[in-house]
């Protein structure tokens, strides 16, 4: 009796999950593919090789690579700080790091414009640096602006993945090594890094996925199509271009991002699997 | 800082100074200083102007919409997220690995893509929209649409928060309870729920915080109609910035309130995690 | 350190100056001009090459008119702006980036092309929408963008207001009630004109779209047989303005190109191109060539009837002005 009952519950729960999963996650994906191929393969290819799309792809990749690099460095250092030492204000610091995680991306864009824009207070500072170095760097409405906005929204992604792992691992090994006179770098390389390896990779993948998909923050600081647009902005531009053709093109470019997202998910699963195995 | 250091047992692991320095510098340059500019702008409003702005009907309504829809979405996510996590941890069935792998799709999928796709699907010209229209339910351009977009972006937070906890929870717990004759509902309520509660709160908080500030995926599917209450807070901020008379102070002030809400929520989440981790470690 | 170094390299590599002498030139415009400027830029690039023998790379930026003006003030490096209303360009002038008197720098109040406000309805016009009156009927669902963030939406509002003014011979209470009733029927209020068109056309919302004439005509061409254009008895002559952004043009050394770029808009070829893209050419002779496309008999008021844009904006669209009043009723 109990056995039967439990089976029924099992399949009901699985059923609910599958329906929810299909409706919320799989259907949107199919919709993108379906709309992308609306006008056939030829126009699909044309949409993907349009100069604006290629330029957007380039900007997206630049922003993603730099954001991942910066956030990896930060993530490793911050997680070392937060898990290996005790100090006052630790909770506040860890909360501050997490801010971009839940902040409205609109605010992120706004923050950069208010700081580095033509009317921002840091503008004279940047002009001064540009004059001194003879460069022409603009931190708003430019590729560097896109990069900065991307770094902002993905800032905590890597530290958040490593911190729990390092917490769980504790400090004993490091303390022992330090007592034996190992240098900080050696301790990190020989003891800490092997522990965080998989978590770090996992964080990098999530960070990259979020970075190439960012819309709101980048939207605020990037205005020139074909120059500083990223793929999500290009999709918005195509969607807004009004004709049925361009909407199909918008979905074609979307399918590119969906493809990149799926690759990230597959990588993530491989990393997770390997990570779990190496735990044993 | 130094005082505390000497009072407590000084860590012998090297690198405190440099890691503290680098972390705080990067955090300041990339996050805190730009955010401080938002703060500075909003402080240009006098207290009275601030109050007047915050009590304006469209602003109040937008906050009600954003928080209300995000709450509804977070609750839905907690229910389905718990079921999904449970199914993924406890049962074996074909396609499970695929499902597990795809949970993070909303993280990876750009919000703009999610936005236009959901709008297409649920508007009258999309097939789900047409189906729902037949039974008299309009989804796109209504609050329901906003909630659906927020459910979409929030679901991974809940599932991924609960999953590890359930994995650690030995099945022998429930078996013991079954043997003692507890009903299924009682088992869940008395044995499992307390264990996953902190994680559930974390997931709930993250999904809620994400939903309240969400822009990209919500903006296409919401009707942006003040009357129908489909303007979200992010939209009001954009509206203030896009209007013919740019209102930086107003935008910054609303952004600040949003920021404080996010910060508080994250702080509470961190506290919960802190307490929970202490409890399990003891 | 390594990241810092790598960031600096990338940032430095992103400067606008290219080695081969190609000049980059940016036109910051509003939403519905995408197609027109895409075609115009090709035309101008050829003209420029003929004149100077040099290549020019033209960069376009589109968005809601107000937000585009703001982006220029905040540092979007526009050499010229071609926006939906003079008020947005005045905002840039007030920021000290455009010299005073810009409106007289080019012909016809610096408006090389004009447009007006019309209704777009679904084929068959089942709800019988023929004039502003019909918009207040029960069950009519209207799509129009948000005047708070869209220049086009401001024109829509003012056209309705002008109709009410004539209908109620200037009785302000009646006028407010009338326009308020129109906005009660608004189903979706997008942030920009383009978004509103997409909502109406692609996502099938509403019975009538209050739109730019050029948007409406473009939709008719894109979707033959699916929509009808209705010209109301009274509308407004929308004069999108153009100007050189002096501060940027001086810095970039593009002052001459900028003038040439905007003056060239008034040549016959460019005027014809505007007409083909459904903007009313400001050149009377060219406009007559398009008599089939445009309803030239509409009763059009102009922004001067409202005391100019700055006055109109203060009266109607500023916080707590008439729009807020009627919309929150």
Which mean pLDDT values do the consecutive 10-residue runs of chain B (282 residues) have? 46 84 92 89 88 89 93 95 92 88 84 87 84 85 92 92 86 73 77 84 87 86 79 88 80 88 80 70 48
Q: Which helix (H) or strand (E) holds A149?
A: helix A143-154
Domain range annotation of chain C: 7-113+240-288, 117-237+299-327
Q: Taking CB atoms and an 8 Å limit, are C17 and A240 in contact across chains?
A: no
Question: In whole angstroms, what is the distance from residue C11 CA to residue A136 CA?
Answer: 9
Q: What is the pLDDT of residue A59?
A: 96
Tens digits of residue pLDDT in B204-229: 988 998 898 888 888 888 877 777 78
Q: Taking CB atoms and an 8 Å limit, are A141 and C71 in contact across chains?
A: yes
Q: What is the pLDDT of residue C38?
A: 92
Strand order in the sheet with C23-29: C56-61, C23-29, C80-83, C241-244
Contacts of C among chains (3+ CB pairs under 8 A): A, B
B163 touches chain A (CB under 8 A): no
Q: What is the pLDDT of residue B167?
A: 86
If you measure CA to CA, which chain B residue comes closest to C192?
B242
Interface test with B, best of C146, C181, C207, C223 (most B CBs within 10 A): C146
Q: Considering CB atoms only, which of A106, A122, A171 is closest to B13?
A: A171
Collect all residues of chain C within an 8 Å Cβ-Cβ radius of residue A141: 71, 74-77
Question: In whole angstroms, what is the distance from residue A147 CA to residue A154 CA?
Answer: 11
Q: What's the ipTM?
A: 0.82
pLDDT band at C2 (very low <50, low <70, confident <90, very high): very low
Q: Taking CB atoms and an 8 Å limit, are B239 and C186 in contact across chains?
A: no
* pLDDT at residue C104 greater than cutoff 90: yes
User: What is the average pLDDT value for chain B, to the nearest integer?
Assistant: 84
Tokens of C303: 């922004």
Q: Taking CB atoms and an 8 Å limit, are C10 and A147 in contact across chains?
A: yes
- Measured in angstroms, the CA of B158 and the nearest CA of chain C are apart by 31
- Cβ atoms of residues B221 and B112 within 8 Å: no
Give which of C32, C103, C93 is closest to C65, Cα–Cα: C32
Tens digits of residue pLDDT in A169-224: 888 888 888 888 888 888 888 888 988 888 899 899 989 988 998 888 898 888 88
Tens digits of residue pLDDT in C120-159: 999 999 999 999 999 999 999 999 998 887 888 899 999 9
Q: Which helix (H) or strand (E) holds A17?
A: helix A2-21
C68 touches chain A (CB under 8 A): yes
Task: Tell the residue number behind the tokens 């508007």, with chain if given.
Answer: B123
Domain A43-279 has CATH 1.10.3720.10: yes
Tens digits of residue pLDDT in C3-28: 444 444 444 444 444 445 688 899 99
Q: What is the mean pLDDT of residues C197-206?
A: 87
Q: Taking CB atoms and an 8 Å limit, are B247 and C151 in contact across chains?
A: no
- Measured in angstroms, the CA of A160 and the nearest CA of chain B are apart by 12
Collapse the DSSP code of C81 into the 3-class scheme (helix H, G, I; strand E, B; otherwise coil) and give the result: strand
**Please, which residues have CB within 8 angstroms of residue C210's CB and are 6 or more apart in sequence?**
C117, C118, C119, C135, C142, C143, C144, C156, C159, C160
Give which of C50, C51, C78 is closest to C63, Cα–Cα: C78
pLDDT band at C93 (very low <50, low <70, confident <90, very high): very high
B116 touches chain A (CB under 8 A): yes
Collect all residues of chain C within an 8 Å Cβ-Cβ radius of residue A134: none
Whole-model pTM? Answer: 0.85
Contacts of A among chains (3+ CB pairs under 8 A): B, C
Q: What is the pLDDT of residue C137?
A: 93
Q: What is the pLDDT of residue C20?
A: 55
Give which of C184, C230, C188 is closest to C211, Cα–Cα: C230
Mean pLDDT check: name the lowest of B165-179, C62-76, C272-286: B165-179
Q: Considering CB atoms only, which of A144, A224, A242 is closest to C61?
A: A224
Tokens of C19: 């080695």
Tens digits of residue pLDDT in B156-203: 999 988 998 888 887 777 777 777 777 777 778 877 888 888 889 888
Question: In whole angstroms, what is the distance from residue A202 CA to residue A275 CA?
Answer: 9
Q: Three-state SS string across B182-234, please?
A: CCHHHHHHHHHHHHHHHHHHHHHHHHHHHHHHCCHHHHHHCCCCCCCCCCCHH
Q: What is the pLDDT of residue B265?
A: 81
Question: In whole angstroms, what is the distance from residue A204 CA to residue A3 CA?
Answer: 44
Q: What is the pLDDT of residue C15?
A: 40
Tens digits of residue pLDDT in C169-178: 989 999 999 9
Q: Considering CB atoms only, which of C12, C14, C60 is closest to A225?
A: C60
Tokens of A92: 């506040």
Collapse the DSSP code of C211 into the 3-class scheme (helix H, G, I; strand E, B; otherwise coil) and give the result: strand
Give which of C313, C276, C267 is closest to C106, Cα–Cα: C267
- Within 13 A of B181's CA, how many CA atoms are on the CB side? 0
- Cβ atoms of residues C241 and C103 within 8 Å: yes
Contacts of B among chains (3+ CB pairs under 8 A): A, C
Low-confidence ranges of chain A (pLDDT < 70): 1-5, 102, 242, 279-280
* pLDDT at residue C65 greater than cutoff 80: yes
Give Dmax (Cα) for chain C. Answer: 72
Domain range annotation of chain A: 43-279
B94 touches chain A (CB under 8 A): no
Tokens of C113: 């092309």
DSSP string, B168-185: HS-HHHHHHHHHTT--HH
A3 touches chain C (CB under 8 A): no
Q: Considering CB atoms only, which of A117, A137, A239 is closest to C74?
A: A117
Kindly state which CATH superfamily the domain C7-113+240-288 is placed in.
Periplasmic binding protein-like II (3.40.190.10)
Domain C117-237+299-327 has CATH 1.10.287.3510: no
A9 touches chain C (CB under 8 A): no
Q: What is the pLDDT of residue B206?
A: 85
Tokens of B185: 């509902």
Domains of chain B: 44-280 (1.10.3720.10)
Q: Taking CB atoms and an 8 Å limit, are A93 and B27 in contact across chains?
A: yes
Going by their DSSP bridges, the two strands C234-238 and C56-61 should be labelled as unpaired
**Please, which residues have CB within 8 angstroms of residue B1's CB and are 6 or more apart in sequence?**
A87, A88, A89
Q: What is the pLDDT of residue B196?
A: 86
């Amino acid at each position: 009796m109990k056995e039967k009952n439990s089976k029924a519950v099992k399949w009901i729960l699985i059923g609910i999950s599958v329906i929810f999963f299909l409706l919320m996650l799989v259907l949107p994906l199919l919709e993108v593919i379906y709309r992308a191929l609306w006008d056939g393969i030829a126009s699909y290819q044309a949409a993907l090789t349009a100069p604006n799309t290629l330029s957007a792809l380039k900007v997206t990749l630049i922003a993603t690579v730099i954001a991942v690099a910066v956030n990896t460095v930060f993530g490793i250092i911050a997680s070392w700080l937060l898990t290996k030492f005790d100090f006052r204000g630790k909770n506040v610091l860890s909360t501050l790091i997490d801010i971009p995680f839940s902040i409205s991306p609109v605010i992120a864009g706004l923050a950069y414009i208010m700081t580095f824009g033509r009317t921002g207070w840091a503008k004279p500072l940047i002009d001064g640096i540009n004059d001194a170095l003879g460069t022409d760097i603009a931190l708003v409405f430019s590729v560097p602006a896109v990069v900065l906005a991307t770094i902002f929204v993905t800032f905590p992604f890597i530290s958040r993945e490593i911190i729990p792992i390092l917490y769980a691992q504790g400090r004993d090994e490091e303390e022992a090594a330090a007592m034996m006179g190992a240098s900080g770098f050696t301790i990190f390389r020989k003891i800490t890094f092997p522990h965080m390896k998989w978590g770090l990779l996992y964080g990098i993948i999530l960070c990259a996925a979020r970075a190439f998909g960012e819309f709101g923050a980048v939207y605020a600081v990037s205005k020139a199509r074909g120059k500083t647009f990223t793929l999500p902005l290009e999709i918005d531009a195509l969607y807004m271009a009004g004709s049925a053709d361009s909407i199909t093109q918008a979905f074609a470019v979307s399918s590119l991002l969906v493809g990149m997202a799926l690759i990230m998910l597959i990588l993530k699963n491989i990393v997770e699997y390997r990570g779990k195995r190496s735990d044993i | 800082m130094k005082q505390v250091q000497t009072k407590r047992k000084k860590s012998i692991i090297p690198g405190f100074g440099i890691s503290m320095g680098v972390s705080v510098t990067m955090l300041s340059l990339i996050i805190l200083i730009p955010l401080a500019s938002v703060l500075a702008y909003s402080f240009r409003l006098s207290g009275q102007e601030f109050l007047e702005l915050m009590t304006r009907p469209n602003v109040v309504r937008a906050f009600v919409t954003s928080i209300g829809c995000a709450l509804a979405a977070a609750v839905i996510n907690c229910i389905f997220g718990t079921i999904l996590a449970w199914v993924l941890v406890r049962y074996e069935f074909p396609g499970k690995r695929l499902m597990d792998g795809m949970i993070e799709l909303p993280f990876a999928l750009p919000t703009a893509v999610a936005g236009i796709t959901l709008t297409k699907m649920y508007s009258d010209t999309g097939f789900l929209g047409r189906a729902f229209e037949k039974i008299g339910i309009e989804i796109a351009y209504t609050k329901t649409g906003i909630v659906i977009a927020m459910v979409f972006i929030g679901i991974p937070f809940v599932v991924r928060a609960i999953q590890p906890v359930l994995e650690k929870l030995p099945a022998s717990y429930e078996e013991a309870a079954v043997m003692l004759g507890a009903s299924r509902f009682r088992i869940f309520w008395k044995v499992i729920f307390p264990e996953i509660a902190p994680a559930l709160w974390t997931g709930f908080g993250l999904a809620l915080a994400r939903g309240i500030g969400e822009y990209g995926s919500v903006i296409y599917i919401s009707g942006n109609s003040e009357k129908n209450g489909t303007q979200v807070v992010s939209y009001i901020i954009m509206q203030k910035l896009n209007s013919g008379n740019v209102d930086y102070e107003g935008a910054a002030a609303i952004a600040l309130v949003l920021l404080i809400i996010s910060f508080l929520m994250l702080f509470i989440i961190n506290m919960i995690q802190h307490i929970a981790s202490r409890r399990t470690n003891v | 350190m390594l990241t810092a170094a790598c960031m600096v390299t990338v940032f430095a590599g992103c400067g606008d100056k290219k080695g081969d002498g190609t000049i980059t030139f940016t036109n910051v415009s509003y939403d519905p001009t995408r197609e027109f400027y895409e075609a115009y830029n090709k035309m101008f690039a050829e003209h420029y090459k003929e004149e100077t023998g040099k290549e020019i790379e033209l960069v376009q930026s589109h968005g809601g008119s107000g937000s585009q003006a703001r982006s220029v003030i905040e540092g979007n490096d526009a050499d010229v702006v071609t926006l939906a209303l003079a008020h947005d360009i005045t905002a840039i002038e007030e920021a000290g980036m455009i010299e005073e008197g810009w409106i007289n720098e080019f012909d016809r109040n610096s408006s090389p092309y004009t447009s007006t406000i019309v209704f777009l309805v679904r084929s068959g016009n089942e709800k019988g929408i023929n004039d502003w009156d019909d918009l207040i009927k029960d069950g009519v669902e209207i799509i129009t963008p948000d005047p708070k963030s869209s220049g086009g939406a401001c024109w829509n509002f003012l056209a309705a207001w002008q109709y009410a003014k004539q209908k109620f011979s200037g009785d302000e209470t009646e006028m407010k009630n009338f326009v308020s009733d129109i906005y009660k029927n608004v189903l979706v209020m997008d942030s920009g004109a383009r978004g509103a068109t997409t909502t109406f056309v692609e996502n099938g919302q509403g019975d009538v779209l209050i739109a730019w004439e050029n948007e409406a005509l473009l939709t008719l061409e894109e979707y033959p047989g699916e929509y009808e254009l209705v010209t109301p008895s009274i509308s407004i002559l929308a004069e999108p303005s153009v100007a050189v952004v002096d501060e940027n043009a001086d810095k970039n050394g593009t002052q001459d190109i900028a003038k040439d770029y905007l003056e060239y808009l008034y040549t016959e070829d460019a005027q014809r191109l505007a007409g083909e893209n459904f903007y009313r050419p400001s050149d009377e002779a060219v406009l007559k060539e398009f008599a089939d496309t445009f309803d030239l008999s509409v009763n059009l008021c102009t922004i001067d009837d409202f005391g100019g844009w700055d006055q109109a904006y203060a009266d109607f669209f500023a916080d707590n002005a008439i729009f807020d009043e009627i919309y929150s009723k």
